[in-house]
Amino acid sequence: MKHLFFTLLLCLAIIAGAAAQTHSPLGVWKDDAGETHVEIYRCGNSKQLCGRLVWLSEPQDSTTNLPKTDRRNPEPVKRNQPLLNLVVIQDLSYDPDDERWEDGRIYDPMNGRTYSCYLNMVSKDRMEVKGYIGFSFIGRSHYWSRVK
């Protein structure tokens, strides 16, 4: 009886894990700090995903009262572009073996750096966003919630 119970629990865990990966990341997501909303959409060859900033908790620069710009961008010509609608996630492709969107890049306008990244659906309305340099186990995960 115990063996049957543990087998059933294991099957339920596998099904729940597989179901989490069938959820779509398309839509608008709130970062874990509640400071930005990012829209995840199809791009490139329509099999890839990208993301753009569509909402900021503080959209204007407090000193100039003008829209915030990408002032830390490593390319000087891009430092005056507004943060709203800035593409911050690019080139994510679905990997059925890992059951996640990976091999993409994520740009952090707070420091002007670009990192490798992947998206992993935890549930229908929760997603792990991991940025890293080199190896994914060295990176940092954030958990975003779907905006309804």
Average pLDDT for 91-100: 94
Where along the chain do its domains lie? 2-146
Closest-CA residue to 21 (of 93, 98, 94, 99): 99
- CATH number assigned to the domain covering 2-146: 2.40.128.520
pLDDT in tens, 53-84: 999 999 999 999 999 999 999 999 999 999 99
- The pTM assigned to this predicted structure is 0.82
3-state secondary structure of 74: coil
Average pLDDT taken over every residue of the chain: 87
